Amino acid sequence: MLRHWLKYVSRHSSYLLTSTSIIKSSKICFFFQDIPFRIPLAFMRIYSNNNKKYEKENVTIINMIKYWHQIFEKEKIIEPKKSIEHIIAHVLGISRLTDLSNISTMKLNREQLQKLEGLCQCRLSRMPVQYIIGEWDFRHITLKLEPPIFIPRPETEIIVDISLKRIVSFKNDKCNILEIGCGSGAICLSLLHSHKNINITAIDANSHACELTMRNAQDLQLQDRLILFNAILKNDGLIEKKKNFFKDSINFYNDKFEIIVSNPPYIPTETVFKLQPEIKLYEDVKALDGGHDGLKLILSILKYASEALKIGGFLILEVDFNHPERIEFFIKQNYVNKLKLEYVHKDFANKDRFVEILKIG
């Protein structure tokens, strides 16, 4: 059913969607609201209008950027210019946009043009640029990204800084670190990349996310120091393993950690369906939806951490800007002798975004 709809909207973007993509049926009604059917049709109209001009000798990079920029703008795609620049750079195999200007009069060949058209159609269907070009940078590493695995946000780069400082403060390279919900592997792989001696255990509920993290780890040659599990953190604060990718086993009931880091879903359910189409259509809703107040997963993590952290260990979380107060209140209510909200850090936009919770007893 879902595939059928998607095909109807855009043949091109549906083939980039994977079998594990999770879009609830409730999403489809929002689908209509934001992505009207006229898009592919409108696109065809523009395309045929310009066909004549297009077939001429004008298929230089600079002209193609102008051409698609106009179409994107007309269709109210956000960041129209940046989108086409990223896509064209990807088609040409260039990693930096500034390099485009040096070859702006170069012509595209037929294959490149075809690829460009297919990918631009994806963008017209609001597919995020990161999925279209299949990769994005996070801190100093480049990650492969594919739908529907959550695209790392720039704010999350800061949680790595916070975690790194914390790891260094332990002065113990052997310390146990756990990431809950690794997605594409942004946090754990950045940590491994920046700190050459540590090992990290990571879990994700989505087996597709685990596979992606594994592939990214192999690309970055960090797989030796990563232990990856396909596991679910349940509401009662217990972790249930589904499948592990390695022989070495970790017992989540007995093993204790110095650091637990996570960027859990924290958007309230209502808000999830009001997000931009790029997010709600293509990203795994499970990686965003934090229950009715956005705290559902956070509370489970608190429960798990209250047992699984060593005394003096830290739980480091990315949360929504109104959560820190509520987390502090919740801790005082339920874990007064076990946990303590030690620090709240702000993101680039000066919003309270990160919390560090200390295990005290």
Partner 1 sequence: MKLLKIQDLRFNIQSLKSMAIRNLQVPKTDVNKFLNKLTNAYISEESTCFQEVLNFASVKNLLDERIQIVENMENLVTLMEEDEELKKLGKEETLVYENRLIQVDNELIDLIVDYLDGDQYSDIILEISAGVGGQESMLFVKDLFEMYLKHMSYLGYTSEIIQLDESSIGGIRNVSMMISGKDCYTKLIHEAGIHRVQRVPTTEKSGRVHTSVVSVVVLPQPNDIQITINPNDLKIDTMRATGAGGQHVNTTDSAVRITHLPSGVTTECQIYRSQIKNRKLAIIKLRTKLYDLQFNKEQKSIISMRKEQMGKRERNEKIRTYNFTQDRITDHRLSDGSLHNLKNFLLGGKALDELHQRLDELSKYKLLVELIAKV
Number of residues that bind partner 1 (CB under 8 A): 48
Is the C-alpha dihedral spanning 158, 283, 215, 304 positive or negative? Answer: positive
Counting beta carbons within 10 angstroms of the beta carbon of residue 164, is it exposed (0 to 12), middle (13 to 18) or buried (19 or more)?
middle
Q: Return the amino acid letter for 169.
A: S
Q: Confirm or reject binding of residue 155 to partner 1 (CB under 8 A).
A: yes
List CB contacts of 73: < 8 A, sequence separation 6 or more: 80
Number of CB atoms found within 10 A of residue 63's CB? 18
Q: Confirm or reject binding of residue 123 to partner 1 (CB under 8 A).
A: no
Q: Which of 129, 200, 316, 331 binds partner 1 (CB under 8 A)?
A: 129
Q: Confirm or reject binding of residue 1 to partner 1 (CB under 8 A).
A: no
Which stretch in 11-19, 122-130, 171-179, 241-249 sits in contact with partner 1 by CB under 8 A?
122-130
Which stretch in 47-55, 125-133, 241-249, 308-316 sits in contact with partner 1 by CB under 8 A?
125-133
Instruction: Kindly write out the interface string for residues 199-238 of this chain, putting x where it contacts partner 1 by CB under 8 A and - elsewhere.
Output: ----------------------------------------
Q: Which of 181, 353, 357, 359 binds partner 1 (CB under 8 A)?
A: 353
Rg of the chain over CA atoms, in angstroms?
A: 22
CA distance 327 to 305: 13
Query: Rounded to 5 degrees, what angle do the CA atoms 251, 207, 178 make?
Result: 40
Query: Rounded to 5 degrees, what angle do the CA atoms 272, 276, 282 make?
Result: 80
Q: How far apart are the first and last CA of the chain?
A: 51
Which stretch in 11-19, 242-250, 273-281, 326-334 sits in contact with partner 1 by CB under 8 A?
273-281
Give residues in contact with partner 1 (CB under 8 A). Answer: 62, 78-79, 82-83, 86, 96-98, 101, 104-105, 128-130, 136-140, 150-151, 153-155, 157-158, 161, 263, 265-267, 271, 275-276, 278-279, 283, 288, 318, 320-321, 347-351, 353
